[in-house]
Amino acid sequence: MAKVSEFMTKKVVTISPEASVLDASVLMAEKNIGSVVVVDGKIPVGIVTERDIIAGVVSKHLSPEKTLVKDVMSKPLVTCTPDCNIDEAASLMQAHKIKHLPVVRGEALIGIFTTYDLMVARGHEYDRIQATIAELMKEK
């Protein structure tokens, strides 16, 4: 079974809980990503997604310049380890209705596993199964 570590993104974009939502939004736009992991020092404490910004700022007509990341971030943070298999990661994501799953080793953030990564991982599994079936058919 494929592991999260095989498909996760290792360069994770992070932000401080004291940063403004505007800072988070600009960072997400510049990097063309849907979330940033909120870190206190090097320890992940939350995540800010596009959905969090809409629900926590836009829908309430708050100022993104004055609203802090810590006030809109999703917490407690749902994480997995790099050894987690992709089916377990998919179950976590489905159970918590999330699209971005930070990957930690101990308390250290080492990557992020997204729904896109899950689709790629499942595609590789499908290709591997098809190759095995093709080999079995050749042997007959």
pLDDT at position 91 is 92
Angstrom distance (rounded) from CA 117 to CA 76: 22
Angstrom distance (rounded) from CA 55 to CA 10: 28
Pair 73, 40: CB distance under 8 Å: no
Mean pLDDT of the chain, nearest integer = 89
| 112-128: pLDDT as tens digits | 999 889 888 877 665 55
Asked if the model's pLDDT at residue 131 lies above 60, the reply is: no
* Predicted TM-score of the model (pTM): 0.83
| 11-39: pLDDT as tens digits | 999 999 999 999 999 999 999 999 999 99
Domains of the chain: 4-139 (3.10.580.10)
Asked if the model's pLDDT at residue 96 lies above 90, the reply is: yes
